[in-house]
Every structure is written in C-alpha cells, then in structure tokens.
C-alpha cells in the first residue's frame, strides 16, 4: 500500500543523488532551507536519510527536491513524529526549490511557506493564509526611522558599546551567547539549545551578522543564515536574543538595522535581489522592517 502511495506521489520524478541535487540548486537557485549544505547537515544531525528526486523534460533535469517521506526534507512534522522536535531551528523559513523558470513540475510532497518564486516552476501550490515578512530596502524605511536607528547606535557606542562581527567567534561561543541572551529575553530555552553548538558548527560558513557588546558583555545577537543563488541572495533571520536590562539602548533594533544594512550592501555589490526573510509575518516589530509577502503550500 505504502509503495503504491509513494509511487503515485513520485510519478514523473526519479531518484537522484545528493551531488545531482546540489548541481540543480547551483544552477536554478533556492533558499537557505533548501541549500544542499543545510539539507545534508541537518538531516545528518537528525539521522533521517534524504531521498532526492529529480524532474526531467527532454532528457534534461528541470527540477529537484529533497524529501523525507511524503514531506520535504527538514519538515517540522517529521521531526515531531520521530520524537526529535526542536532538534534545530530554521524558524518558518522561506522555501524556494531549485527548478527551471517554467518547469511546471508537479509538487505532491507536503510543504509550507513556499515562496512566490516557485510559481511557474511547480504545479499544485495552494495559497497559504499566513504570510512571510520580507525586509524592505533601507531607503524604503522612513527617514525618521533610519535617523532613530543611527541615533540609538551612536548612544550605545558613546556608552562604551561595541559592534563585533560573528566571524570573530567560534561556533561554541556563538551558541553560548545566543542561548543565554535568548533565555534572558524570553524566559525559556531557545529551540535547539541542546545541540546548538553542533548545528552552528555544521552551518558555520553560512552565518552572517554582528554581536553587540556593552562593558565587554554580549547584549544582542541574531541567528542569520545567508546563501547565494545565481539570480538572488537568500537570507533567513531565524531568531535573536537580547539582554532585557539594556533595553534603553534598543539593542535588538540596532542589530536588525546593522544586519539588514550589511545584507543589502552585500547584495548590491553583487547586483542581485535580496530576499531577507524575518519568518512569519506575525509580530508588530516586523511591520516596521518588512513587507508581508504571500506564500503557498502543498
């Protein structure tokens, strides 16, 4: 019975290897959550094998997907069913699957938060009620808002605050700062805290951003991953932590300003559109930084 269901779901698709999937991603593009390194490393951490599938037209690969059973790989539903809930955190990441612009490959594996960029590349997408929050370019933020961010940064620096790049720190140091500041901000442990160091070691080369310090102590940090596709740059802001005792300096807002600004500058140097996702459009503070964008599901 299960083989028949799998055969129905995969009809028109064929099994491919990880290297072929990686080639497809590098050719067609994707997002952080579908990047070959992210899929491989987090699936290995979860000890759940990935079945890669390819869609051909005229003998040429036109689309590729990583799967866990009837779901796309890294699905929270699969982790939960296998007793591995909260093993790692990618938030509600934007999903862009590698496919040619007009492939129209039939997508029958369960998925949510599928980007508008999948339109035309895949069939079977249904509108999702939630939306994602996509960072606006800094010139699209109000002058007053930008002025306030720069002022808050200046006040922090005048009080002895420092901005240091994440690249200055080891995965273990980043994990320690993040888990501590997240716990202080929210009063409960960060998703994936138990294996955070290992996750950050596995994805270290994709981490970007800065850490804010005051009196030599970290006061704000964000987990932000970046991947570069042929036609765009995908950035995923997963979550952050701040020291609530320093809220007078608005360190979380200052750090968002710095991290988004650096990402926009990087994208412009490469002359590529930036897709900087803040995850689900579900918080008031995201409205200040982002535009809500529609997403689809299967």
The per-residue pLDDT for range 20-33, each reduced to its tens digit, is 999 999 999 999 99
What pLDDT is stored for residue 12 in this prediction?
82
What DSSP character marks residue 42?
H
Instruction: Classify residue 31: in a domain, yes or no.
Output: yes
**Which tens digit of pLDDT belongs to each residue from 116-168?**
999 999 999 999 999 999 999 988 888 998 999 999 999 999 999 999 999 99
Residue from 159, 136, 135, 168 nearest 250 by CA: 159
**CA quadruple 231, 114, 101, 14: dihedral sign:** positive
Say if residue 110 is in the same domain as residue 171. no
Residues 119 and 144 in one domain: no
Cβ contact 117:175 at 8 Å: no
177: domain range?
134-293
On whether both 124 and 172 belong to a single domain, the answer is no
| 80 and 213 fall within a common domain | no
DSSP letter for 168, please: G
Tell me, yes or no, whether 80 and 97 share the same domain. yes
Q: CB of 213 within 8 A of CB of 247?
A: no
DSSP code of residue 87: S
**Residue 292: closest CA among 89, 53, 131:** 131
In a domain, 298, yes or no: no
Is residue 140 domain-shared with residue 286, that is, in the same domain? yes
Q: Where are the alpha helices (DSSP H) in 100-211?
A: 143-158, 171-186, 196-202
Residue 56 binned pLDDT confidence (cut-offs 50, 70, 90): very high
Quick one: pLDDT at residue 79?
95
Residues 141 and 287 in one domain: yes
Rounded distance, CA 248 to CA 120, Å?
Answer: 47
- State which of 98, 130, 162 marks the end of a domain: 130
Query: Does residue 1 surpass a pLDDT of 80?
Result: no
Triad 4, 6, 11: Cα angle to 5°: 95
Average pLDDT over residues 265-275: 97
64, 97, 130 - which closes a domain: 130
The CA distance from 82 to 46, in Å, is 9
Q: Locate 176 and state its tokens.
A: 């320690």
State residue 2's pLDDT score: 55
Q: 283 and 148, same structural domain?
A: yes
What pTM does this model have?
0.94
pLDDT at residue 240 is higher than 60: yes
> Which of 229, 227, 225, 228 lies closest to 207, judged by CA?
225
Cα diameter, the chain: 68
Structural domains in the chain (count): 2
151 closest CA partner among 263, 259, 244, 250: 250
Same structural domain, 251 and 280:
yes
The reply to whether 221 and 108 lie within a common domain is no
19 shares its domain with 167? no
Parallel, antiparallel or unpaired: strands 233-242 and 217-228: antiparallel
Last residue of a domain, one of 130, 153, 176: 130
Angle at 185 between CA 179 and CA 189, to 5 degrees: 40
Rounded to whole angstroms, the Cα distance separating 139 from 272 reads 17
Q: What is the pLDDT of residue 39?
A: 98
The answer to whether 213 and 162 are in contact (CB under 8 A) is yes
pLDDT band at 90; cut points 50, 70, 90: very high
**Residue (of 72, 28, 5, 4) closest to 232 by Cα position:** 28
Together in a domain, 169 and 197 = yes
Task: Please provide the average confidence, as pLDDT, over all residues in the chain.
Answer: 94
């Amino acid at each position: 019975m299960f083989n028949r269901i799998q055969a129905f779901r995969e009809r028109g698709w064929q099994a491919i290897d990880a290297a072929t999937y990686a080639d497809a991603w590098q050719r067609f593009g994707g997002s952080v959550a579908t990047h070959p390194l992210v899929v491989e490393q987090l699936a290995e951490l979860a000890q759940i094998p990935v079945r890669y599938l390819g869609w051909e037209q005229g003998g040429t690969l036109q689309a590729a997907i990583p799967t866990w059973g009837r779901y796309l790989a890294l699905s929270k539903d699969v982790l939960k069913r296998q007793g591995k809930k909260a093993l790692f955190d990618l938030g509600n990441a934007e999903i862009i699957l590698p496919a040619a612009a007009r492939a129209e490959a039939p997508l029958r594996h369960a998925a949510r938060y599928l980007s508008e960029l999948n339109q035309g590349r895949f069939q079977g997408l249904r509108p999702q009620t939630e939306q994602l929050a996509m960072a606006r370019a800094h010139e699209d933020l109000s002058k007053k808002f930008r002025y306030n961010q720069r002022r808050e940064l200046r006040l922090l620096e005048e009080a002895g605050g420092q901005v240091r790049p994440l690249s200055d720190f080891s995965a273990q140091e980043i994990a320690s700062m993040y888990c501590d500041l997240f716990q202080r901000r929210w009063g409960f442990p960060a998703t994936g805290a138990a294996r955070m160091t290992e996750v950050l070691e596995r994805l270290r080369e994709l981490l970007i951003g800065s850490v804010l310090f005051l009196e030599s102590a970290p006061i704000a940090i964000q987990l932000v991953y970046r991947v570069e596709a042929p036609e765009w740059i995908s950035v995923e802001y997963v979550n952050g932590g701040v020291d609530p005792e320093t809220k007078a300096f608005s360190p979380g807002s200052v750090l968002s300003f710095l991290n988004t600004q650096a990402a926009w500058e990087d994208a412009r140097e490469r002359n590529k559109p930036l897709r900087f996702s803040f995850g689900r459009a579900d918080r008031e503070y995201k409205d200040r930084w982002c535009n809500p964008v529609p997403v689809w599901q299967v």
